[in-house]
Amino acid sequence: MTLSPELQSSLESKIKQFEEERTMPLISNMELRGIEQGKKIGKEIGVLENSRDDIKTVLTVRFGQISSEIEEMIDKITNLALLKEILKSAVTANSLAEFKQSLAKIQ
């Protein structure tokens, strides 16, 4: 059976579209696990950075500009539970000096 040029072209186009839709990605299970692990680590880093930023924001609003020394101390902390305790201290401290003392005790 012979198709007209228009029908032949349409058939080839539909076959090509069908093949493109069925193409499987060439990503192994190991690569997929790596991607998921990367997303998880990225999320954890984001949560830590947000917690540090929250502490700095509270201190800046309450006491004005904070020293680079305090910022560096906060930036070195990688424990989320500890950052939450430090945030509480930032909210309740009566002065920046008091906060710095409590920060030294918490670490």
DSSP-assigned letters across all residues of 75-101: HT---HHHHHHHHHHHHH-SSHHHHHH
Domain spans of the chain, in order of start = 49-107
pLDDT over 90 (residue 26): no
Q: What is the pTM of this model?
A: 0.69
pLDDT tens string 30-88: 888 888 999 999 999 999 999 999 999 999 999 999 999 999 999 999 999 999 999 99
Report whether 80 contacts 51 (CB < 8 A): yes
**Residue 1 confidence (pLDDT):** 65
